Structure 1
């Protein structure tokens, strides 16, 4: 297994065809085809599915593709670190961020990072950890700031806890049930929730079933973004469940409010999540340190806004 063969494999997957992969790599189509055939021959496994409309991958090919991406991304990180030691700060950093962090501490952390590493090409990816996990797995994403799903393999990802945060059932100001005292009062309402494709059953159990409540799943709308969730809560009178801190910051503050329900929801943990046994680049380490600094600064602040935020958070660092 050679580096140019892995590059041909990844380029073919990204481009969708060998011809397009050749253009992307600046090679002849024959050279890319030869590299792929040599890779299949050396591994003694079928890796590609060739068809007139393009190429696909066998199960063997998909497994190798994941590792190939990881190898190439790790080499890119190594090259970036070496360039920094030579005095040239270049490279790319991709960070996954859970939505509520994007609305609170992220902007300040980014500004601090940009002052320290202005040459780094920074890419921010907002989304749930289930969306970020495949990108962490293949090395495309350096690390994520979020909550690792319980179903994720603990042997695959490493977590560095940052803080715990409260979550609440919330409705818009003026909602007919804004004084509800139990989840049972809300079973005839429509709900908008943010969850992974396979996460509805677990979420229904967490919010309703374990409290002896039964809700019709047709009442639950899945929102793919925080903006969509906000719109449905404010303009369609839906209930939602989300980090309580959202009720303290724009654009939610004063417009959405947590309900004082008798049912309790355990604090959730926010962590730095990375691929286990991988090495964070210097840029990634710098970004994490900037984020730590911002968190500590706000946690120690006596300003009214910061005190309101940390009524719902508990720092672990």
Structure 2
């Protein structure tokens, strides 16, 4: 496989046509077509399905596309890192950040990172792991700060633990069921939950099944952002299960109510999650160092609000 062939494959997928790929790469349509045909001949499998409505990919093409994106992203990162070391380029860092870190420590982390590496272009995702995993997989995201649940695909990633954190069932303050004392009393309620594509059973087991509770799947809305969860909790009277620290974050302090239940939940672990066998850049290491510095400063703080945060957290680093 040659680099220009992989570039043609990825550009064709992103633009949806040979013409769009040629425009994206700044070459002729004939050159893109030739690169794709050469790739199919070398691999001896069909990669694309050409139709009047546009391009689509065979199973072979989809599999190769995933790796092609990873190769090109890795190459871009390597070139950026070398250029940054030579003082010729800003470089780029893409980080996924779980919502409760975003609402507590992130602003200070970003300011500290900007002081240390002002030349690096920083891209941040509000990143629940359902969002982060595909981006980590194809190399679009350098690392994520999140919770990696055991699943069939989790072996693709590696994690370095930061915290153990407590979780709680939550609802809008003033909700009619806020005084419930068992998960069994909430099975007739609607729920907004977030989980990775292969994390459904692990979540259901922890929240319901191991407590002998069975809930109808139709009562669960899978929400892919904190904003969606917030709207559904506040305006649709839904319940959720989330890190307990969320209810103490300034944005939610007077709006979210944790529910004290008889059932106990296993503490979850927040980690630095990256692709297995990948190497983090110096910018990524710097961002992690800034994160740890800010977290440790708050952990040592005598302020009441910091002590309340760390009532629900156990620092592991």
Query: Do they fold alike, i.e. is TM over 0.5?
Result: yes
Partner of residue 309, structure 1: 309
Partner of residue 258, structure 1: 258
Alignment of 1:100-111 (within 5 A): 100-111=100-111
CA distance in 1, matches of 2:89, 2:292: 22
CA distance in 2, matches of 1:70, 1:177: 47
Aligned length: 317
CA distance in 2, matches of 1:245, 1:169: 12
Partner of residue 127, structure 2: 127
CA distance in 2, matches of 1:45, 1:237: 52
1:41 matched to 2:41? The reply is yes
Give yes or no for contact 2:247–2:253 (8 Å, CA) kept in 1: yes
CA distance in 2, matches of 1:232, 1:288: 32
- Which moved further from structure 2: 20-29 or 90-99? 90-99
Distance apart, 1:27 and its partner CA: 0.3
Once the two structures are superposed, residues 61-103 of structure 1 have per-residue CA deviations (whole angstroms, 9 ceiling, x without a partner) of: 1111111111111111111111122123412211112222211
1:299 matched to 2:274? The reply is no
CA distance in 1, matches of 2:57, 2:95: 28
Partner of residue 191, structure 1: 191
Give yes or no for contact 2:129–2:195 (8 Å, CA) kept in 1: no
1:25 matched to 2:29? The reply is no
Partner of residue 151, structure 2: 151
CA distance in 1, matches of 2:236, 2:10: 44
CA distance in 2, matches of 1:302, 1:81: 40
Alignment of 1:1-317 (within 5 A): 1-197=1-197, 199-317=199-317
Change in CA separation of 1:192 and 1:218 when aligned onto 2, cut-off 3 Å: same
Distance apart, 1:171 and its partner CA: 2.2
- Which moved further from structure 2: 15-24 or 121-130? 121-130
RMSD over equivalenced CA pairs, Å:
1.7
CA distance in 1, matches of 2:267, 2:289: 24
Q: Secondary structure at the match of 2:160?
A: strand
Distance apart, 1:3 and its partner CA: 1.0
Give yes or no for contact 1:11–1:25 (8 Å, CA) kept in 2: yes
Q: Secondary structure at the match of 1:290?
A: helix
- Which moved further from structure 2: 204-213 or 10-19? 204-213
Q: What stretches of structure 1 of length at least 5 have no aligned partner?
A: none
Give yes or no for contact 1:168–1:258 (8 Å, CA) kept in 2: yes
Distance apart, 1:131 and its partner CA: 2.1
Give yes or no for contact 2:127–2:144 (8 Å, CA) kept in 1: no
Distance apart, 1:178 and its partner CA: 2.2
Q: Secondary structure at the match of 1:111?
A: helix
Q: Secondary structure at the match of 1:250?
A: coil
CA distance in 2, matches of 1:120, 1:61: 34
Once the two structures are superposed, residues 190-239 of structure 1 have per-residue CA deviations (whole angstroms, 9 ceiling, x without a partner) of: 32222345544543332222212232333323333222222332233322
Q: Secondary structure at the match of 1:83?
A: helix
Give yes or no for contact 2:173–2:257 (8 Å, CA) kept in 1: yes
Change in CA separation of 1:195 and 1:112 when aligned onto 2, cut-off 3 Å: same
Distance apart, 1:173 and its partner CA: 2.2
Q: What stretches of structure 2 of length at least 5 have no aligned partner?
A: none
Give yes or no for contact 1:130–1:149 (8 Å, CA) kept in 2: no
CA distance in 2, matches of 1:240, 1:124: 25
